[in-house]
Amino acid sequence: MKKTALVTGAGRRFGFELSKALLAEGYQLFAHYNSSHDGISELESLGATAVQADFTDIESIQGMIKTISNATDSIELLVNNASCFFDNETVDNDNKALAAVFQVHGIAPYILISGLQQQLSQSENGLVINITDIYADRPSTDYIAYCAAKAGLANMTQSFAKTLAPSVRVNAIQPGPILFLPEHDKEHRMQVLDETPLRVEGGLEPMIETVRFLRDNPFITGESIKVDGGRGLMI
């Protein structure tokens, strides 16, 4: 019987590569996306089921939960990966962006974990992995709202780990400089790497390997693992 996974923000970057890796391992995969269909068509061609939801809209999230619940009785893995990365200037000038930061990183994961609790509990190894950030511990003054929202998700990880045990485990991964954005110029990249002890851009494979580690070790819950080349030691 196939194991089932739900990855949010599955159309690009880490969500996309993780989704491909899970499909290659034989998972039945629900690949969430919002407005951008980037990468989703490829995942569908590999066997994924695309599920659309706007994470700033509670009814949209609940509709996605209903769709998934009607399609499967159990979920082995839920990865809350969807994100919006807005700096202070953006959220100070756009109330919708400010609200989205907390809705996408806080409200949506809460509703998904709560709404899919029954399916996660039906699995032999139900696991939630929340993608937080190294800035959840040491916030950046340039991304105050974003860091606060990710810190809330880190706290939620521990709360749900206590609440859902022993049937469901809940952990977090804190990425650092795993994959620079296209808008990051050479100067920015060099500055970040100068602040990273291992001095390399990590790539996505270390994140995928950490998902596998948390999945395959059944005695870990309520933990956050930094995948950051040591940058959390420096900031």
- List, by residue number, the catalytic residues: 146
Reading phi first (left if > 0) and then psi (alpha if -120 to 50, else beta), residue 148 is in alpha
C-beta separation of 109 from 157 below 8 A: no
- Distance, CA of 197 to chain centre: 25
- Residues 14 and 200: their CA atoms lie apart, in Å, by 17
- Say if residue 70 is exposed, middle or buried (CB neighbours under 10 Å; 0-12, 13-18, 19+): exposed
Position 147: which residue type? Answer: C
Enter the DSSP assignment of 195. Answer: T
Structure tokens at 201: 């851009």
- Residues 183 and 215: their CA atoms lie apart, in Å, by 33
